[in-house]
Amino acid sequence: MSCQTNNATAPSPAVAPGRERIDPRRVVEWLVNRHGPVATDPRLAQVAPGFDAPFFQAGLAGYSDAAMRIVARRHGCPFCVTEALLDRTLLAGGRGFTKADLGELHDNIPGGPEDHPLAGQIMGSHPLEMAAGALKMAEQGIRGDRAYRAIAYDHDPELWADVIESHLRNPGGEQVRVEDDARSGVGRGVDPGDIDGVSSGGGVDGEGSWPGLAAGDGPAAAGAGASFQVIDVNLACPVKKIKNKARGGHWLTDPAGAIRILEAVRDAVPSHIPCSVKLRRAYDDTPEMADHFERIFDAAYRIGYCWATVHARTVEQKYIGPSRWTFLRDLVARHPDRIVFGSGDVWDVNDIFAMIGYTGVQAVSVARGCIGNPWIFRQARDMIAGRPPRPPTMAQQRVALEEHFRLSLAVTRKFKKAEEQSSKMMRKFAIRFAAHHPRSQAVRDRMIAVRNAAEWLGVLDEHYPAEDAASSGR
């Protein structure tokens, strides 16, 4: 069970009558006139320093691990969201959950200083579990696993009050920063060695045999930047209910429950870390569900959430059929002061600026459109700089493919069969990466048969010229 779905779903054009009259280049001009050269609402960087472009990489269960995020960032992506991490997985320290369940811990730990700004996304069924999980995420486990489980399961009102009031505040009422706790040696639940599954950089041990992998090639050192800049609450995932308990998008049927979760998470997360929410436009197309959306959306901002990312499909639609940009347009028009991000049917760089032009959202969530296509971010940066968007050269494709596998090995290196795991991961990207190649079918067939790093490099040697790769630039 996960938010995952078949990423090969045929691209559907969004419901956006009149969109053909929008010239994405004119939208960029308008953004630059309004916000200056970065073309971005300055509030985004106030919330998450470094968020300096009006688009970002979405949470994508099964894909958006630190490796994919870092590749995206190296191509100009200014902000990323982890895949949804189940609160229980987090509180159980990742034990007892199968690979098929939602986001595993190692996929959801920041990949070092390069992997920022980053939103850690959490999803679950109970406000206290969500709150404890979000707190653990925000603090990177400094209290120790037992303390977070006690917050979630002991249901001790005093403990809860203590968390909110005193643990997170100094006697004068000033907020205790996570770093202060860390420095003073408050018990560590997450071993930096775990964080460093993606963070220690360089060494691929065990089976790793990546030729020439040097220190510093992987995601950079743990410690610096090991936390999240934003905690994102997932009220959007269409995965079925578990044991009659709602989670993800199913909360859109229960606004009171959804609002309890939003409150509990906001209360628990230290106030210097902003919270955001991911929503669908409704559970289904009934007026009752439209009303539920409004209640939850309004409550999020009232409680202090910095923004909502709204996927303009219903939960019932899952990922099939068009998203309704008309919904986003009306929502933004009704709430011009709120920061709203849009999601759904963003397949290429023109869609990014068309969505902004059509709906008025402050940033666009790029999801299936960036699987095997990190160049969408570079192309968006090109457009902001007034250049035509550049397709990737063969040499640039080779650099990205090599880099992605190398980073994936840094993510999986703690596991017994690291190369096999990374190979499986890369196979999922293959169809989309291969689409950029003139002999895409042949390349794809070779990529999906890869079992280790040497074979991956073999495919690259066979199909992607190495010359100029080092100086290919981005």
Active site residues: 237
Residue 421 is a binding residue for ligand FMN (CB under 6 A): no
Q: CB of residue 122 vs ligand FMN: minimum separation in angstroms?
A: 10
Q: Of residues 27, 61, 230, 273, which one binds ligand FMN by CB under 6 A?
A: 61
Q: Of residues 69, 281, 292, 311, which one binds ligand FMN by CB under 6 A?
A: 311
Residues 120-159 that bind ligand FMN (CB under 6 A): 121
Sign (positive/negative) of CA torsion 349, 53, 50, 46? negative
> In Å, how far are 14, 43, 187, 389 from 377, measured between CA atoms?
20, 20, 40, 10
Round to whole Å and give the CA distance between 143 and 189.
6
Residue 319 is a binding residue for ligand FMN (CB under 6 A): yes
Residue 60 is a binding residue for ligand FMN (CB under 6 A): yes
Q: CB of residue 231 vs ligand FMN: minimum separation in angstroms?
A: 13
Q: Of residues 40, 276, 343, 422, which one binds ligand FMN by CB under 6 A?
A: 343
| Closest C-alpha to 411, from 177, 57, 65, 12 | 65
Local structure of 245: helix, strand or coil: strand
| Closest C-alpha to 130, from 19, 4, 267, 16 | 267
Residue 250 is a binding residue for ligand FMN (CB under 6 A): no
Span of 287-295, 337-345, 393-401, 415-423 interacting with ligand FMN by CB under 6 A: 337-345
Give 453's contacts (C-beta < 8 A, 6+ positions apart): 208, 209, 210, 405, 409, 419, 422, 423
Span of 30-38, 187-195, 341-349, 389-397 interacting with ligand FMN by CB under 6 A: 341-349
Q: Of residues 7, 209, 253, 393, which one binds ligand FMN by CB under 6 A?
A: 7
Span of 32-40, 289-297, 334-342, 343-351 interacting with ligand FMN by CB under 6 A: 343-351
Q: Of residues 24, 59, 78, 127, which one binds ligand FMN by CB under 6 A?
A: 59
Per the structure block, which two tokens stand in for 411? 């993510």
Q: Of residues 78, 127, 270, 344, which one binds ligand FMN by CB under 6 A?
A: 344
Q: What is the DSSP code (8-state) at residue 174?
A: P
∠ Cα 317 320 323 (to 5°): 75
Residue 236 is a binding residue for ligand FMN (CB under 6 A): yes
Round to whole Å and give the CA distance between 206 and 416.
7
| Closest C-alpha to 59, from 268, 264, 251, 276 | 276
Q: Of residues 278, 292, 413, 444, which one binds ligand FMN by CB under 6 A?
A: 278
Identity of the residue, 112 or 344, whose beta carbon is nearer to ligand FMN in the bound complex: 344
Q: Of residues 234, 326, 379, 408, which one binds ligand FMN by CB under 6 A?
A: 234
Residue 91 is a binding residue for ligand FMN (CB under 6 A): no
| Closest C-alpha to 263, from 294, 233, 293 | 233
Round to whole Å and give the CA distance between 403 and 454.
14
Round to whole Å and give the CA distance between 290 and 381.
35
Residue 62 is a binding residue for ligand FMN (CB under 6 A): yes
Applying CB under 6 A, the residues found at the interface with ligand FMN are: 3-5, 7, 58-62, 83-84, 121, 234, 236, 278, 311, 319, 323, 343-346, 365, 367-369
